[in-house]
Chains A and B, each alone.
Chain A
Amino acid sequence: MIQTFAFYLFAVLLIASAVLVITSRNPVHAVLWLIVAFFNGAGLMVLVGAEFIAALLVIVYVGAVAVLFLFVVMMLDIDFAELRAGFIRHFPLGVLIALVLLAEIVLGVGAYRAGALELGAAGVAAEPIAGRSNIDNIGALLYTRYLFLFESAGLILLVAMIGAIVLTHRERPGSHKTHQNIDRQVRRRPQDATVMTRPDVGQGVEL
């Protein structure tokens, strides 16, 4: 009973917030609704027993990706009215694409038993080992069967990192902030910096 209730709660909230993402006028609100959508998605994941995926969804998407979205959207002065200016002009194309995708979905839903879905069929499924959490199971799969793909995906992320640095990093010679030498600052002693003197009256200090 609780599961059913929770499912409908999460599902309705998920769809509602997803709709609000595309309809809200304010981009910041759109991102916030997106976060709500992610969150409800995580809730659904918990319901199907994929608690690890749920946690990842929250940590990665809600905790990091969406924060960056928000960060960018807040900084940019996005005028949605301007963005929507071409709406009428591109409407037919949009409808066409939407229709194609709708046809796909209908096809997919209508024939969801068409193929022999090996992962879904009984007997051949990669069943979770009894008594193991799905963290263990996912880890076991990732590091054995999908080892090659997993490591290659790591290379992709590395390329993304290199790319970001190559395209944006600029050396700024002479900037103090980037060339602060903390070791030197810490090593500096009072006697290196200050001198105690007792000047005579009328003599002043000689430096």
Chain B
Amino acid sequence: MTRTFMDWGLSYEWAWGLATIAGILLIALPLMLAVAMIIYVDRKVWAAMALRRGPNVVGPFGLLQSFADGLKVFLQETIIPSAANKGLFLIAPIITFTVALAAWAVVPFNSGAVLADINIGLLYILAISSLGVYGVVISGWASNSKYPFFSAMRAAAQMISYEVSIGFILVCVVLYAGTFNMNGIIEAQRGHGLGIVNAYAFNLLLFPIWVMFLISSLAETARAPFDLTEAESELVAGYQTEYSSMSFALFWLGEYANVLLMCALNAILFFGGWLPPLDWAPLYLVPGWIWLFAKIFAFFFIFSWVKATVPRYRYDQLMRLGWKVFLPLSLLFVVLVSGWLMVTRYERSPHTALCPSLDNAELAARGAAPQGSPCVRENLT
């Protein structure tokens, strides 16, 4: 996009700035719209599974329900509890919302259609999603109220626990793809399954990983059945208890933006992102972003489905699942995946990989630091 602006006669820096702003708007505004609609979808799916009709009054089929809700919330009075820590109380929802949007910067919508095509894309996502917990923790503490505080404690422990195993899961994917770049990961999935299917999930080693990732992403976004941070039967509404009006709406928007992000990650990391499901020429006629949106929608349906049908976990069960099941399993799979790749993809086994940089004579000749590291095994794919 920078090029287009430069063609208009702008200097590179101005063009870059304009392009970035345009890109941000191009992602953030539709995302907000998508969040509004996805809340509607969530409620509809949930209703359908409970044999209800769900929202059906505002607009055709109740499609405008979310907008009506938004307007209502917008017009409400912002109430700040008198004992609350005012600054932090107001900043918390902003953090949640900002962080939820910031993560989308590295999500590719099509080949090259990504706001920031950085080489540590996946790490960036991991970093940003680890920031999400601060919104919850700060709001819980700043509310100066019992239930929000419990919720904050739960959220902190929960997110840290699941981030550990998510980290290992992502390592497996990265090992296969050989890159942290999101587009690179998607490209690496082209024809991965028997040369036909564009998805990592059809790899016997990565399929269990995907299942773990799906469950962990439920926990990471505090969706049912892991929504202990806002368990209404125990904690009123958790960290949101004291919030009203727009600050409440920001939490809501941020939360659903995060859910969509996790759906997108599922699609990108394991189901080929913007690639069509099959590596078959006619399918490429459909634009990439449509494939991505379809996949995101499918995953969101799964999320809703789970929310509608699975009872909430108890807190110690949640912790046990994270630390005693997922952590050892994901570790095991890191070992399995790297072992498998070592045997199949990289020619030389570790024992014969004599490292020239460990050569004493050479070290002496060069001083302490050898130039670069010549003994990196080449990726043979």
**Chain A residues close to B by CB (< 8 Å):** 1-2, 28, 32, 35, 51-52, 55-56, 58-59, 62-64, 67-68, 70-71, 74-75, 118-119, 124-129, 133, 135-137, 139-141, 144-145, 177, 180
Contact = CB atoms under 8 A, between A and B. Distances in A.
A59 B368 contact: no
B275 interface: no
A20 to B, nearest CB: 13
A10 to B, nearest CB: 16
Contacts, number: 110
Contact of B372 (A64, A129, A133): A129
Interface of B: 13, 88, 118-120, 123-124, 126-128, 130-131, 133-134, 137-138, 141, 149, 152-153, 156-157, 159-160, 163, 167, 180, 316-317, 355, 357-358, 366-373, 375-376
A56 B13 CA distance: 29
Contacts of A35: 134
A184 to B, nearest CB: 14
A145 B370 contact: yes
A177 B120 contact: no
Contact of A126 (B124, B138, B369): B369
B64 to A, nearest CB: 38
Contacts of A2: 13
Contacts of A67: 130, 133-134, 137, 156, 159-160
Contacts of A55: 120, 123-124, 126-127
Query: Considering the complex of A and B, which 6 residue pairs feature the smallest CB-CB distances, nearest first?
Result: A63-B130, A140-B373, A58-B127, A55-B123, A140-B376, A133-B119
Nearest to A42: B127
Nearest to A130: B372
Nearest to A2: B13
16 contacts: A51-B119, A59-B130, A59-B167, A63-B160, A64-B130, A74-B137, A118-B367, A125-B369, A127-B371, A127-B372, A129-B376, A140-B372, A140-B376, A144-B373, A145-B370, A180-B317
B56 to A, nearest CB: 37
Contacts of A32: 88, 138
A52 B373 contact: no
Nearest to B124: A55
Given A67-B133, A67-B159, A141-B373, A124 B119 contact: no
A74 B157 CA distance: 13
A180 B321 CA distance: 13
Given A51-B118, A137-B372, A74 B160 contact: no
Contacts of A135: 119-120, 180
Contact of B120 (A52, A62, A128): A52
A63 B157 CA distance: 12
Contacts of B373: 126, 129, 137, 140-141, 144-145
Contact of B375 (A1, A75, A144): A144
Given A67-B133, A118-B368, A145-B357, A74 B127 contact: no
Nearest to A58: B127
Contacts of A177: 316
Given A59-B127, A74-B141, A126 B370 contact: yes
Contacts of B118: 51
A1 B372 CA distance: 31
A24 to B, nearest CB: 12
A58 B131 contact: yes
Contacts of B119: 51, 133, 135
Q: Which of B123, B138, B358 has the most CB of A within 10 A?
A: B123
A64 B160 contact: yes
A46 to B, nearest CB: 9
Contacts of B368: 118
Nearest to A51: B120
A74 B151 CA distance: 13
Given A52-B120, A124-B367, 11 more contacts: A55-B123, A62-B131, A63-B160, A68-B156, A71-B157, A75-B153, A119-B369, A124-B369, A135-B119, A135-B120, A145-B358
Contacts of B137: 67, 70-71, 74
A126 B159 CA distance: 37
